[in-house]
Structure formats: C-alpha cells, structure tokens
Amino acid sequence: MTPDPLEALRLPIMPVEPRPEFTASLLRRLRGARAPAVGRGATVRYFVADLDAAVAFYRDDLGFDEELRPSPSFAMLYRGDLRLLLSVPGRAHALPDGTLPDPGGWNRIVVEVADLGAAVEALRGRGIRFRHEIVTGVGVRQALLEDPSGNPVELFEPLAGYHERAPRAAKEQPTPDLSTGEREDRR
Amino acid sequence: MTTVSVRYIVNDIDAAIGFYTTRLRFELQMRPNDLFAMLRHGDLRLVLVRPVGPDGPAGGGAPMPDGTMQEPGGWNRFSIEVPDLAATVEELRRSGARFRNDIVTGTGGRQIIIEDPSGNPVELFEPILPCEAKLSRPAPS
C-alpha cells in the first residue's frame, strides 16, 4: 500500500520542546546544508574473536574507557582522542563473496607511554604477549604487543628531539613536556 | 589538540603517499627517506613504513626477533568520515580506486572499504543521524 503523504497532518498535534541544538541542526538540514562536523579525534576498527576478553584487555591493561557495548558483537572505547571500535566478525562485515574479516595483521594503533620500560614490564607481568620487546628506532623506542585476539598494538616512547622532527605538529601545539609523563587527557 | 597515531605497513612509500594525499586528502608531514613517511588527516597521524629485513634499520618496519617480516593487509583499519559516501565512492571509483565491497548500511551509518596501493583497508564512513534513522524506518503496519 502506498503511504498517504498527508497522513502526518491528520495525527494529533503534540506540543514538543526541542533542544536548541536539535532545532538548529534540523534547520540546517532542511536548508540543505550539512551540519558542521562535531566529531574530533580519530576512529579505528579492530576485529576480535572474543568481545569480553578484548574489552577487558583494552580497559584494564591499556587504560581505555568503555563507552558503549550495545550488542555482544560490538563495543566502542576511548583513549584520549582515539575511538576504538571492536567488532566480532559477522554477516554484516562479510564481503560480497562471503569472506569474513579476521583479527591480526600488522597495521596498528600507536599508544604513547611515558616510560616504555616500565610499561612493558608491567604488561609482561600481567601475561600480555609481545611480538617484539623494546626496539630503538629514529627518535622513538617502541614495543609491539598483542591483544587477546592477536591484534597488534604498538607502545612508543618518544626520545628527546622527536617532536622537533615533526615541525608542523610542533607549530600547531605546544611541545608537550615529556618529563611529566603520559598526557592525562582521557575522557 | 592531541593526536592519534596509526601505523600502516606499505610496500611503496611514494605510491602510498600519492594515494593518501590525492584520494583521501591527507597532508604530507614528512618523508625523510623511502622507508618512512608521516601524514595527517584531522586528528589522525598516519605513519607509513616499508618493512625491512634483518639488515635494515631498527624501527617500526623491522622484522620480529624470529625473523618474521611485517606486511600490509589485514582487516583492522582506521575510519574516515565523509559527508556524502555515495558521491565520494563514485568519484573514487572513477579515478580507479579499488574497493573490497560495496556500500554497507549498518546501525550507525553507511560504510565501505577502500584499499591503498599495498592492499591496506581504509573505512569510509557516513554517519546516519538518529532522527534520520527513525524517519527512514518503515511505518508499522
């Protein structure tokens, strides 16, 4: 049956008090303009085999905050400006040929820590697996660990001079005082 | 402003820089040599490295202690938000970009996976606003 386009006009009129932000955003949408992007930060999606184990790992071992877990196959966590989506592979993620995504690979989030040695020792003490322990590269020291599904996470500690190597980033923000340790900007 | 860093393994630094700057509008921040580059897109800092063998320099592209080399690919990815996914995808397809799938509509938005020249996935995402999701739901009959 074709819906009657005038149907809505026959519904009883309900008084509503829309929030001002909602009204503003609705008006912009009605005028065909896009709402300004309010999102900040960056989003990364990881596939995991066991959602509970993954959420516990990122929350308890790496200091993420759990934001949402609306279903047994999806969770959203934050650490600073990083929004991490954890998905259990399922039909919604299958490619047209049926291929399902899986955890693993080498691409990874990079988590800055103030004292890499102490972080590695603490995590190893909790039974976390490392693909490699501390490697010293140009301007940084880093370690590569695995979440319970085998996804890589890189820990890195900038060495003196690292931020001068990124002139653009240095111009946009004051050089963080590394001696004070990890920035406490988690939400 | 803080920055989120993600490291991707690529086979060819310059091909990757071309892809991320022209197709996905990243800004190149540095490319000190052909093993390493740093790009930026909003709050996302993308660090590209080319894997090296045991004789290569130490760092993000180095092999594991057992000799395993790092490689591109996999499924984990960062996500880039676009205002009009269909238009973006059409434009990218015309310029020859490779996609793993077609646009998929989920609970919170529409998404698609594009591949960089080394086969790394990037998710393009268009959020669906809650009011729109409600309006588009079929009326109960």
Query: Using the 8-state DSSP alphabet, how is residue B95 labeled?
Result: T
B136 touches chain A (CB under 8 A): no
Residue with tokens 């940084």: A140
B72 touches chain A (CB under 8 A): yes
CB burial string B16-28: b at 16+ within 10 A, e below: bbebbeebbebee
Lowest mean pLDDT among A145-149, A155-159, B90-94: A155-159
The CATH number, out of the four listed (3.30.420.40, 2.40.30.10, 3.10.180.10, 3.40.1260.20), of the domain defined by the range A42-176: 3.10.180.10
Decide which of A25 and A182 is more confident. A25
Q: Is the pTM of this model over 0.80?
A: no
A40 touches chain B (CB under 8 A): yes
Does residue B141 sit within a domain? no
Does residue B62 sit within a domain? yes
CA–CA distance, A186 with A65 (Å, rounded to integer) = 8
Quote the ipTM score. Answer: 0.89
A81 touches chain B (CB under 8 A): yes
Residue with tokens 């973006």: B88
Does residue B21 sit within a domain? yes
pLDDT of A182 reads: 39
Instruction: Provide the pLDDT confidence category of residue A155 given band limits of 50, 70 and 90.
Output: very high
**What distance in Å separates residue B95's CA from the closest CA in chain A?**
22
The kind and range of the H/E element at B132 are helix B130-136
Q: pLDDT of A8-38, one tens digit each?
A: 666 666 556 666 666 665 666 566 544 444 4
Does the pLDDT of residue A151 top 80, yes or no?
Answer: yes
Domain range list for chain A: 42-176
Q: Coil, strand, or helix at residue B48? A: strand
**Nearest Cα residue to B8 out of B82, B101, B100, B78:** B78
Contact A169 B45 (CB under 8 A): yes
Residue to mutate among A78, A107, A133, with most B CBs inside 10 A, is: A107
Q: pLDDT of A71-84, one tens digit each?
A: 999 999 999 889 99
A179 touches chain B (CB under 8 A): no
Could you tell me whether strands B77-81 and A42-47 are parallel, antiparallel, or unpaired per DSSP bridges? antiparallel
**Nearest Cα residue to A157 out of A174, A143, A173:** A143
Domain count, chain B: 1
**What distance in Å separates residue A70's CA from the closest CA in chain B?**
11
pLDDT of A48 reads: 98
pLDDT of A68 reads: 87
CA–CA distance, A7 with A97 (Å, rounded to integer) = 42
The kind and range of the H/E element at B13 are helix B13-18
B9 touches chain A (CB under 8 A): yes
- For residue B75, give the CATH number of its domain: 3.10.180.10
Decide which of A45 and B135 is more confident. A45
B104 touches chain A (CB under 8 A): yes
Parent domain of B115: 4-136
Distance of CA A185 to the CA centre of its chain: 14
- The tens place of each residue's pLDDT in chain B, 141 residues long, gives 458 999 999 999 999 999 999 999 999 999 999 999 999 999 999 999 999 998 888 888 999 999 999 999 999 999 999 999 999 999 999 999 999 999 999 878 899 999 999 999 999 999 987 655 444 444 444
Does residue B104 sit within a domain? yes
Does the pLDDT of residue A172 top 90, yes or no?
Answer: no
**SS3 labels along chain A:** CCCCCCHHHHCCCCCCCCCHHHHHHHHHHHCCCCCCCCCCCEEEEEECCCHHHHHHHHHHHCCCEEEEEEECCEEEEEECCEEEEEECCCHHHCCCCCCCCCCCCCCEEEEECCCHHHHHHHHHHCCCCEEEEEEECCCEEEEEEECCCCCEEEEEEECCCCHHHCHHHHHHCCCCCHHHCCCCCCC
- List beta partners, residue B99: B114
**What distance in Å separates residue B78's CA from the closest CA in chain A?**
4
CA–CA distance, B19 with B120 (Å, rounded to integer) = 11
Tell me the residues of chain A between 114 and 173 that have a Cβ less than 8 Å away from chain B: 131-132, 135-138, 140, 142, 144, 151, 154, 156, 165-166, 168-169, 172-173
Provide mean pLDDT across the span A110-120. Answer: 93
